[in-house]
Amino acid sequence: MKILKILRKTYFKLTYSLLHYLVKDDVQVMGWPGIEDHINIQNDLINKVKFKPTDVVLDLGCGTGLTTKRLSPMVKSIIGVDNCQGMLIRARKNTKNCSNAKIVYSEGRELPFKNNQFTRVICYSVFNYLAGLDEAKLLIQEMIRVSRQGAIIFIGEILNSKKKKIIALSEHIEASGLRVKGLGWLHSIVAAIVYHLLAWYDPIDLMNFCKELDVKGVVLSREKPLLYINETFDFLINI
Ligand SMILES: C[S@@+](CC[C@H](N)C(=O)[O-])C[C@H]1O[C@@H](n2cnc3c(N)ncnc32)[C@H](O)[C@@H]1O
């Protein structure tokens, strides 16, 4: 089981590095079918996490930095962190005109920051690529460590093991591939195949884990499904 978890993590890490060389599109290299979907994701995130001009933000698993770039004019400063060098090359390019943004290489579970640094921590579509629940717990602990009193941590697009079901390839293609240009069709086929390899979580496990920690509150949310995978949940932690 442990070997499987390590294999899964290594597989996704290698895939992201390889995709960086193969795929030109900054959105598709992160696994999203198209820019419209990504803008919807950003809007949903902005809606749920109320950003303020005084906010010091950490974007954990920033990918190619598109969300980091979008948030940069809304906040005091923002740091994008990722553990894939290929993504960071793109993130640095995409944020080169954002004077308050910085891009840093790091593993999510060992962040190179002091305690109580950030007022907002966002971590979107990252948990599915971790080794599993144990690593998810380490990331949550680390996010809490670097957050100030009153901060909000947003963990988005977590796959819900309670709703796991077999999704037919045709469903993926119909839902995403046929309505996007470029490599959308390829994305939907790959997504259907790797769907079962991803890390899935029971929301109650994560909720109970957070309640054991020193946090003010934890909220599960997802008002409407965003992409082709609609079995996901979001998680807001109030520090
Ligand atoms: C699907 S992309 C999401 C990117 C971005 N957050 C977004 O919403 O578009 C997942 C990103 O998480 C990064 N990632 C996965 N595991 C990580 C970890 N343990 N520490 C840091 N980054 C990680 C990957 O390298 C990849 O860039």
DSSP the chain: -HHHHHHHHHHHHHHHHHHHHH---TTGGGT-S-HHHHHHHHHHHHHHS---TT-EEEEET-TTSHHHHHHGGGSSEEEEEES-HHHHHHHHHHTTT-TTEEEEE--TTS-SS-SS-EEEEEEES-GGGSSSHHHHHHHHHHHHHHEEEEEEEEEEEEEBGGG--PPPHHHHHHHTGGGS-TTHHHHHHHHHHHTTTS--B-HHHHHHHHHHSS-SEEEEE-SS--SS---EEEEEEE-
Q: Which pLDDT score is estimated for 28?
A: 78
pLDDT at 11 over 80: no
Q: How high is the pLDDT of residue 152?
A: 96
For residue 171, pLDDT beyond 80: no
pTM for the model stands at: 0.89
Q: How confident is the model at residue 174 (pLDDT cuts 50, 70, 90)?
A: low
Query: Lowest mean pLDDT: which of 100-109, 152-161, 221-230?
Result: 221-230
Which band of pLDDT confidence, cut at 50, 70 and 90, is reported for residue 169? low
- Tens of pLDDT along 47-85? 999 999 999 999 999 999 999 999 999 999 999 999 999
Ligand 1 atom closest to Cα of residue 123: 6
| Atom 18 in ligand 1: residue holding the nearest Cα | 108
pLDDT band at residue 225 using 50, 70 and 90 as cut-offs: low
What pLDDT sits at residue 217? 86
Residue nearest to atom 7 of ligand 1 (CA): 124
- CATH class label, 2-164+200-238: alpha beta
Q: Domain-by-domain residue ranges, the chain?
A: 2-164+200-238
Mutation test residue for ligand 1: of 19, 37, 129, the one with most atoms within 8 Å of CB: 129
